[in-house]
Amino acid sequence: MKIYFAPLEGITTYIFRNAYNEIYGNIDKFFAPFISPAENSPIPMSREKKDIDPENNIGVNLVPQILTCRSGLFIEAAKELNKMGYREINLNLGCPSGTVCARGAGAGFLQETTALQRFLDDIYSYSESEGIKISIKTRIGFSNPEEFYDLVDIFNSFPVSELIVHPRIRSDFYKGEPRKEYFAYALEHSKCPLVYNGNIFTDKDCGELSDSFGRSLDPVMLGRGLLFDPSLTEKLKGLATETDLCKFKKLHDTIYHEYQKILSPDINILYKMKELWSYWQILFDGKERDIKKLLKAKKCSEYDDIAKRILMP
């Protein structure tokens, strides 16, 4: 089974990716948090350039992601990424953020099917001329899941290298059950190679999804599931049956120490770690009191003492 790691803005940075890849591995592709190109600045933020710099992603199979509704901006960003050595780029048609959708990008682009077709025509003409791949990460619609039927027809008109389907509409955000029947429709009607994404938190979830579709899911994209349980890749590949605390501690310590090297003051380091602990805390039944204290820590010295207690075997 091939497993892809979904992009989570501000979380799955190169520091997290490198630590995860070294300690757990088993990820076939990591997808970087999206880049939003601007006029005269295809990769506008220095932190975005640093995050996708090949020197910061050695040994990681990384796919950069672009979020825009303007084909010219996508192509300019793609040219820069191509110069950096990237031969696959992902288009974000799934972000449900109100700010993003108000600009007509992310999931907001799905409601403008005529403009979307023109956009795809432009970017795939570029990709074919340059010999690069463009995959798409999409929701099934903006306001109505039945929009997906037309979207599948649109995507079928282009050489989409992989179509990653998150079977929710924009207004679902990440709540409720994914609308699995629409992924089933894609399995029957899509000409594009498909990747399933959405609510895989355990190996049991993956097995039940495969049973419901009548076939094994391969590849799958995991996001929050790998934050809640970093060992999920091993469980899906039959390499582990439970979470390895020693591995988890090494992941925690590696990420923490790397953030200490590049961030200051303490509050900025702890902001990053607390965001991760908002997911990790479910692994530590019986240690809720310590985790509550950790999430209130204001100094690294205070955090260190609490984390040590939580991570004690």
- Residues 6+ positions from 226 with CB-CB distance below 8 Å: 5, 20, 232, 233
Residue 243 confidence (pLDDT): 81
Residue 178 confidence (pLDDT): 97
Q: How far apart are CA 115 and CA 92, in angstroms?
A: 15
Token pair 């039945």 is at which residue?
146
Residue 313 confidence (pLDDT): 81
Residue 44 confidence (pLDDT): 82
Residue 92 confidence (pLDDT): 98
- CB distance 71 to 119 below 8 Å: yes
Q: How far apart are CA 216 and CA 143, in angstroms?
A: 29
* 198 φψ region: left (φ > 0), alpha (ψ -120 to 50), beta (else): left
Residue 136 confidence (pLDDT): 98
Residue 40 confidence (pLDDT): 86
Residue 6 confidence (pLDDT): 98
Q: What is the pTM of this model?
A: 0.96
Residue 45 confidence (pLDDT): 81
Which segments in the chain show pLDDT lower than 50? Answer: none
